[in-house]
Structure 1
Amino acid sequence: MPSLAAGLPPKFDAREPAVLADPYPTYRDLRAAGPLCRMGPASYGVTRYDDVAALLRDPRLGSEFPEQYHRMSAGDGPAGRFFSRIILYRDPPAHTRLRRLIGKAFSPSLVRRTRPRIERMVDALLDPAAERGAFDAVTDLAFPLPVMVVCALMGIPESDDALIRPLALDLSRAFAAIVAEPDRAAADVAVEGLRAYLGDMLARRRADPGDDLLSLLLAAEEDGARLSHDEIVDNAVFAFFAGFETTTNLISTGCAALLDHPDQQKLLRDDPDLTPGAVEEFLRYDSPIQGVARLVREDVEVGGRAIRAGRVLVLLIGSANRDPARFDDPDGLRVDRSPNPHLAFGGGTHLCLGASLARVEADVAFRALLRRFGPLSPGAPPVRETGGTLRSYASVPVTADPR
């Protein structure tokens, strides 16, 4: 539970075991106490929907942090240095230029053209599950599917899958708010390994370009955008992360939610046209990204309290998406909820690059699950990952009879 200090907002530690297991009761207490909570030296969390939604678009807040911030978060190695170069932690004009170029790989039209290929991938992944009558929603579907899709978008051959998957998993751990000491060495290896792999691919694309992400970025560089080799490689590594991490967590948390709510599973099974809205509800109900940090560049006021430039605001998306001032029955799962203006993909200039891709992959995955199997039931208790900022599962065992 958050502790109160006289005259100060309540204190919140996202790494407490109870919060990692279920942050939503604590969020409820924080929202009731006020719009802000204390999260560390010179940093505050923002708890309520209206404030979070406005601040996501407020130009007085930025994402470009000093190098020492990244060293504190990820260490002094390659991962810490990598963060200071990628689009996620750049402000305009650098961010504008990078987003325009990288966004080509995740354009809605490209994603729509990729849908038939995603459908084939999902069916191939579910074939063994149909034979067994059981599967793990994380290891058998939610993790391999987005990695396969983003590899296809980048032109990475399927023969390199065994090399890429472990690096992708270790890279995802590097994006925690504070990377645990045991994970830092693996994160460094993942960043260096993916940079080397994609750097070699980029060199080959210079001689023989195609229609993949690296070729698009290379063409933009040669058209005068002045992206360096390292800029392309670093942001391709980030695009790799953006293309799979949110989707992995969305599919796994969505499966866990359906297991916990058989009435909503039946509603969705009876009306597959509800699937796109159900995906939005999974994003709201248990947001894959629980919070995003912003550096205050100019003084701002939140809930009557002045926040000075140089402070850090953590916009608590997970709390905002359960705010009863914005959502009816916020702690309930409703796959037919409409409208659903959740903030799971952020907002403003840093709206998630992989949002369109994540939505299509999740839509395909849940339609296939409910089409190919009877009622989904828990095979064993799910196991949470404990990354703090990312709300995810290590395992979601499912039993189901194939149709």
Structure 2
Amino acid sequence: MLSDMPRYVLDDARDVPDPYPVYRRLREYGPVCRGGPGQWVFSRHAEVSALLRDPRLGREYPERYQAMSVGEGPANDYLRRIVINRDHEGHVRLRRLLTKALNPAMVRALTEPVRALVDRILDGLAERGTWDLVSDLAVPVPVSVMSELLDIPAADRDMIARWSTSLAQAFAVFIPEDKRQEAHDAVVRLREYFADLLRERRREPGDDLLSRMIAADREGTEPLTDEEIVDNALFVYYAGFETTTNVIATGGNVLIGQPGTQRELRANPHLVGTALEEFMRYDAPIHTTSRLVLEPIEISGHTLRPRRVVVLLLASANHDDSVFDNPDRIDLTRSPNPHLSFGGGVHHCLGAALARVEGAVLFERLVARFAHLEPAGTAGWNPSSGGFRYPYWAYESIPVTARAA
């Protein structure tokens, strides 16, 4: 009966440091449960995978829906303009440009520069012995990569990263009144900065990502406005480091907490690719995504009516034992591994290939450089300061003690 159906509300979930037992109970109940007002929540792999690819669901929410979360202002306008929140022709138009700019060849070419960057950082960490996996590694690597891709001057990089962290609040389910202005102010500052960069790149194009976006736009049949280019460039910057930071942090937390996994990967470095996929399955960097129902959908005995919101628990689907044998155990050789950590369908994560390059290089170099890694304290997770920034699963700190090889 509907009255017996459990409820899973995203805003409540921010206070749960380990949501996986909750996910298990939801899957055991059934494929769907109630969420917040007008929401249905799906927790099993079959339904989540199918709904990610269903064209009757979209991401272009009504203006009043975004206003409920962030309030009226620049952040609200920004959210409506970026590729992740556009559907149909608007989405295709923006995604085509971004895919051309951040193409597979460009991503593959980053392997050696990323390896050099990681080695430089690890050189410094090896001298310290104890350090923080998040602030010393998971943040600086992707921030540096995205800054290089956009050719952001070195003197500005810390400032842009701080503003982008404030921008992250705009993606929350609900922003408290006292935090909303911070998100709006971050959008204003970032827009001004990226608009200046855009003008510079139009005068003197280079081989950076923004210059590539300008070139790809000129080749299109329907040019983008400068405002669209700016908003989507700063979204790519933010998403490019936020997602990868969490890939490194969640995977690194698994690695340092499991000596047997470390030994296996150190002895078999060729497994780094499948190991990375397994880390992302085991503790997903993106726990949740949502869609808006555009047309009636019949699924698992339920009717999803238009204008309802569907919440898809990606991290829960990744632990569905009908798809993954022993899902609560790390298996570095797991193949196939159809995890949903980067979503699916037309809204599949644009930065997935970049995150995979950075993650694979980092974990390969990490186990090669250090003979042993272990926790130096309790991993920090503080929801009040954004530890669970919907849809991301984020650690604030992961203390590590490392012994050089």
Q: TM-score, normalised by structure 2?
A: 0.95
Q: Which residue is equivalent to 1:259?
A: 256
Q: 2:360 aligns with which of 344, 360, 363?
A: 363
Q: Are the counterparts in 2 of residues 105 and 153 from structure 1 also a CA contact under 8 Å?
A: no
Partner amino acid for 1:135?
Answer: W
Matches within 5 A, 1:141-156: 141-156=137-152
Cα distance between partner residues in 2 of 1:365 and 1:181: 38
Partner amino acid for 1:264?
Answer: T
Matches within 5 A, 1:18-167: 20-167=16-163
Q: Are the counterparts in 2 of residues 107 and 356 from structure 1 also a CA contact under 8 Å?
A: no
Q: Does 2:284 align with 1:287?
A: yes
Cα distance between partner residues in 2 of 1:151 and 1:212: 10
Matches within 5 A, 1:217-366: 217-223=213-219, 224-366=221-363
Q: Are the counterparts in 2 of residues 295 and 312 from structure 1 also a CA contact under 8 Å?
A: yes
Question: What is the total number of aligned residue pairs between the two structures?
Answer: 399
CA shift digits 1:142-171 (9 cap, x unpaired)? 011111101111111222222212112222
Cα distance between partner residues in 2 of 1:174 and 1:127: 36
CA shift digits 1:59-83 (9 cap, x unpaired)? 0001110011111122222112210
Partner amino acid for 2:36?
Answer: G
Q: Which residue is equivalent to 1:399?
A: 401
TM-superposed deviation, 1:177: 2.4
Cα 1:19/1:47, change in 2 over 3 Å: farther
CA shift digits 1:44-70 (9 cap, x unpaired)? 111110011111110000111001111
Q: 2:389 aligns with which of 374, 387, 390?
A: 387
Partner amino acid for 1:231?
Answer: E
Q: Which residue is equivalent to 2:370?
A: 373
Q: Does 2:210 align with 1:214?
A: yes
SS of the residue 1:21 aligns to: coil
TM-superposed deviation, 1:17: 6.1
Cα distance between partner residues in 2 of 1:105 and 1:274: 30
Q: Are the counterparts in 2 of residues 36 and 302 from structure 1 also a CA contact under 8 Å?
A: no
Cα distance between partner residues in 2 of 1:6 and 1:303: 14
Cα distance between partner residues in 2 of 1:182 and 1:324: 42
Cα distance between partner residues in 1 of 2:157 and 2:374: 30
TM-superposed deviation, 1:375: 1.0
Partner amino acid for 2:117?
Answer: M
Q: 1:173 aligns with which of 169, 172, 184?
A: 169
Cα 1:328/1:188, change in 2 over 3 Å: same
SS of the residue 2:171 aligns to: coil
Q: Which residue is equivalent to 2:384?
A: none
TM-superposed deviation, 1:179: 2.8
TM-superposed deviation, 1:388: 4.4
Percent of aligned positions that are identical: 47
Q: Give the ranges of 4+ consecutive aligned residues of structure 1 lying more than 6 Å apart after TM superposition.
A: none
Partner amino acid for 2:12?
Answer: E
Q: Are the counterparts in 2 of residues 221 and 228 from structure 1 also a CA contact under 8 Å?
A: no
Cα 1:186/1:18, change in 2 over 3 Å: closer
Partner amino acid for 1:52?
Answer: V
Cα 1:17/1:299, change in 2 over 3 Å: closer
Cα 1:166/1:380, change in 2 over 3 Å: same
Partner amino acid for 1:395?
Answer: S
Partner amino acid for 1:397?
Answer: P
Cα distance between partner residues in 2 of 1:275 and 1:159: 34
Cα distance between partner residues in 2 of 1:368 and 1:236: 30
Cα distance between partner residues in 1 of 2:84 and 2:306: 20
Q: Are the counterparts in 2 of residues 170 and 183 from structure 1 also a CA contact under 8 Å?
A: no
Cα distance between partner residues in 1 of 2:394 and 2:375: 17
Cα distance between partner residues in 2 of 1:180 and 1:270: 48
TM-superposed deviation, 1:115: 1.4
SS of the residue 2:298 aligns to: strand
Question: Can you give the 5+ residue segments of structure 2 that lack an aligned partner in the other structure?
Answer: 382-386
Partner amino acid for 1:56?
Answer: L
Q: Are the counterparts in 1 of residues 168 and 389 from structure 2 also a CA contact under 8 Å?
A: no
Question: Can you give the 5+ residue segments of structure 1 that lack an aligned partner in the other structure?
Answer: none
CA shift digits 1:322-370 (9 cap, x unpaired)? 1111111111122221111101011111110000000000111111111
Cα distance between partner residues in 2 of 1:19 and 1:108: 38
Q: Are the counterparts in 2 of residues 378 and 398 from structure 1 also a CA contact under 8 Å?
A: yes
Q: Are the counterparts in 1 of residues 373 and 401 from structure 2 also a CA contact under 8 Å?
A: yes
